[in-house]
Structure 1
Amino acid sequence: MHVPDGFLDAPTSAATGAVAVVCVGTALVKARRELDDRTAPMAGLVAAFVFAVQMLNFPVATGTSGHLLGGALAAVLVGPWTAVLCMSTVFIVQCLLFADGGITALGTNILLMGVTTVAVGWLLFVLLRALLPKRVSMVPLEAGIAAFLSVPAAAVLFVVLYALGGTADLPIRSLATAMVGVHTLIGVGEGVITFLAVGAIIAVRPDLVYGARPLLARRELEIRTGTPA
């Protein structure tokens, strides 16, 4: 989904860049509430993991491949604001050092693959965590479902942006069908990878998973409450 230079017109690219700057600036302030002695080291590991795994493509259809976006995964592991910073760092490095996505489209790519996947993934995860049984063992499943849905959500936003400022004469309905269809398949891979990654960490160090902390605190409270004086 990396958008190249010239795919969107200048006003649209400038607008998405401005929104991305605001989002990253807000994340720089808000992330201070999430970062602690566990989250800070994890943030670096998450950024490195997302960067590495994005280099690996998996087939999703004839002549089409996809890769992990990682926004929902990052949000569940280190918190949404820190995740925005992790994802933005990944896309900046990819753009400047590997020419993956255009420089003028950097803000667009951060907004689509960083901010959108993090926001949608985190909100869906929190909703599922509230609706499903309050067990730490459910966190990988909740994260996987949220990650799966976050990918087509980003594809829908891309279609909206293209409808507003696309530079090629493409039928929007056809573009929407192709983008959402392919990215739904990519979302399946995203969900599986997220489920496995979060599950592996939950199995050995659940305290390192930011999204599991409210459930861990609740479990500890119940244990202490049930202990006789």
Structure 2
Amino acid sequence: MHVPDGFINAPVSAAAGVVAAGAVAVSLRGARRELDERTAPLAGLVAAFIFAVQMLNFPVAAGTSGHLLGGALAAILVGPYTGVLCIAVVLLMQGILFADGGLTALGVNITVMGVVTVLVAYALFRGLVLVLPRTRRSVTAASFVAALVSVPAAATAFTGIYAIGGTTDVPIGRVLTAMVGVHTLIGIGEAVITMLTVGAVVAVRPDLVYGARGLSTPLKLRVDGELVDAAPTTPAAVPARSPKKLWTGGVVTALVLAGFVSFYASASPDGLEKVAADEGIDAKVRPHAAADSPLADYGVEDVDDARLSGGLAGVIGVGATLAVGTGAFWAVRRRRHETGAQV
């Protein structure tokens, strides 16, 4: 759902940029409370993983494909504020390096794919885990529903922005119906990917899943024939486990997905591209400012072999996103530490 340049007029694009900048500013402050020594590097990994999985377009209907948006996954794994930042980093790297998503539309993309998906998904996720049994299975089930709903919500948000600032005169009702319809199907794929990823991390390191914090069932002890809750274990009594193994496994997985599996992704246009072509909302689309980038369209310039070119581009993208994301989140973490020391 990467919006290119030319879909939305300049005033509305600028307004969306202000909204996105405000959301990022708020998220930078909020992320200080979510990140610690263990989770800061994992946030960079989440951004790199989302970049990799977004390269894996999957078929959803005749001539249409979809890909992960990632807002629900990021929010559940590392927190809603950090989740917005993860998606912003991914979109920034895609726009600058790979000419994917317009640069003038960056604010629109962050608002739609980052802010809306995170807010909708995390609010729904938190509501579900409050009413479901306090188990790991509930966390994965809630992640499925949250991710499923977040995608058509993002499609609705885009349609609303287009209704205000679209550059072509098309029936908005038809656009809304088409966008929500195809993105509901894409949402199913998003939900499966999110559920499997969250479930895998919860299975091995539930302590590192932000959305699973405080959801463990208290230990029961039998006292005088009755089951009572055991006294909670103090944090000091639990030795901190290094996330190094999870981080290494995640990086390897992201590299394999982007460098190898992406070659087998669907070549069909994604949901937004298909709707835009069918409904005529792409009539005034403009060439990307980074169209001459050596990595444009996820290929390496002067590398003729398509498989090698795409694989190298994917590996470079994962590495760049990991480096930028990890550096940014460590900086946010350090800022929190310095602010706390000054208080």
| TM bracket, shorter-chain basis | over 0.9
What's the offset of the Cα at 1:38? 2.5
What's the offset of the Cα at 1:55? 0.7
CA RMSD of aligned residues (A): 1.5
What's the offset of the Cα at 1:119? 0.9
Q: Tell me the number of residue pairs that the alignment of Structure 1 and Structure 2 aligns.
A: 225
Q: Please name the residue that 2:134 is paired with.
A: 134
Q: Please name the residue that 1:193 is paired with.
A: 193
Q: Please name the residue that 2:256 is paired with.
A: none
Q: Please name the residue that 1:2 is paired with.
A: 2
Structure 2 distance, partners of 1:127, 1:184, is 21
Write out per-residue CA displacement over residues 22-75 of structure 1, whole angstroms, 9 at most, x where no aligned residue: 000111111000001222121011001000000110001111100001100000
* Structure 2: gaps spanning 5 or more residues: 221-228, 233-343
Q: Please name the residue that 2:311 is paired with.
A: none
Structure 2 distance, partners of 1:202, 1:223, is 23
Q: Please name the residue that 2:262 is paired with.
A: none
Q: Secondary structure of the equivalent of 1:214?
A: coil
Q: Please name the residue that 2:145 is paired with.
A: 145
What's the offset of the Cα at 1:220? 5.9
Q: Please name the residue that 1:103 is paired with.
A: 103
- TM (normalized to structure 2)? 0.64
- Written as runs of structure 1 = structure 2, the 5 A alignment for 1:57-76 is 57-76=57-76
Q: Please name the residue that 1:124 is paired with.
A: 124
Q: Please name the residue that 2:16 is paired with.
A: 16
Query: Rg larger in 1 or in 2?
Result: 2
- TM (normalized to structure 1)? 0.95
8 Å contact kept, 1:75–1:82:
yes
* Structure 1: gaps spanning 5 or more residues: none
Structure 2 distance, partners of 1:156, 1:5, is 19
Structure 2 distance, partners of 1:123, 1:219, is 25
Q: Please name the residue that 2:42 is paired with.
A: 42
Q: Secondary structure of the equivalent of 1:224?
A: coil
Structure 1 distance, partners of 2:13, 2:137, is 42
What's the offset of the Cα at 1:102? 0.5
Aligned pair partner of 1:224 in 220, 231, 234? 231
Q: Please name the residue that 2:321 is paired with.
A: none
- 1:224 is aligned with what amino acid? A
Higher helix share: 1
Structure 2 distance, partners of 1:135, 1:87, is 28
- 1:155 is aligned with what amino acid? A
8 Å contact kept, 1:39–1:210:
no
Aligned-residue sequence identity (percent) comes to: 63
- 1:16 is aligned with what amino acid? A
8 Å contact kept, 1:156–1:179:
yes
Q: Please name the residue that 2:90 is paired with.
A: 90
Q: Secondary structure of the equivalent of 1:20?
A: helix
Structure 1 segments of 4+ aligned residues over 4 angstroms from their partners: none
Structure 1 distance, partners of 2:163, 2:32, is 37
Q: Identify which of structures 1 and 2 has the higher relative contact order when contacts are C-alpha pairs closer than 8 Å and 6+ apart.
A: 2
8 Å contact kept, 1:91–1:109:
yes
What's the offset of the Cα at 1:223? 3.5
Q: Secondary structure of the equivalent of 1:123?
A: helix
Q: Secondary structure of the equivalent of 2:214?
A: helix
Structure 2 distance, partners of 1:124, 1:186, is 18
8 Å contact kept, 1:139–1:211:
yes
